[in-house]
Amino acid sequence: MLVALVTSSSCMLTTWSFIGMGEIMTKEAFDWVFSDPKILTAAAVILRLMDDITTHEFEQKRGHVASGIECYMKQHGVSEEQVYSQFYKQVENAWLDINQECLKPTAVPMPPLTRVVNLS
């Protein structure tokens, strides 16, 4: 999962979306981005797992390399349906993390957090 989150490019896309937001994105706000906040990890989980779920069947028909679904099935010895269930549960938990981060006071103002929610 650690490799999958990095290769999802979610953090990079989020950081790029902050450029041009003006005075809202201070040095402290960018320092926050690089501190690996929970909301950015949750967004990466959503992006990665939903991509795996939605493209799995298509990728298998095209003969692509093993997807996250295939890897999870092999690693944990479970069925495809069980993987989908587990991935959806992880996505749901990630949304709970995002909601929690948006509701409690943070080191950054709400507009950057809104960007993360919208990208998710």
Per-residue pLDDT tens digits for 83-119: 999 999 999 999 999 999 999 877 788 998 998 999 8
The structure tokens listed for 100 are 């929690």
Residues 6+ apart with CB under 8 A from 106: 32, 37, 113
CB 40 within 8 A of CB 33: yes
Residues 6+ apart with CB under 8 A from 112: 18, 21, 24, 25, 29
Per-residue pLDDT tens digits for 28-41: 888 888 888 999 99
One-letter identity of residue 59: E
The confidence score (pLDDT) of residue 108 equals 85
Q: What is the average pLDDT score of the chain?
A: 85
| Dist. CA 109–CA 107, nearest whole Å | 7
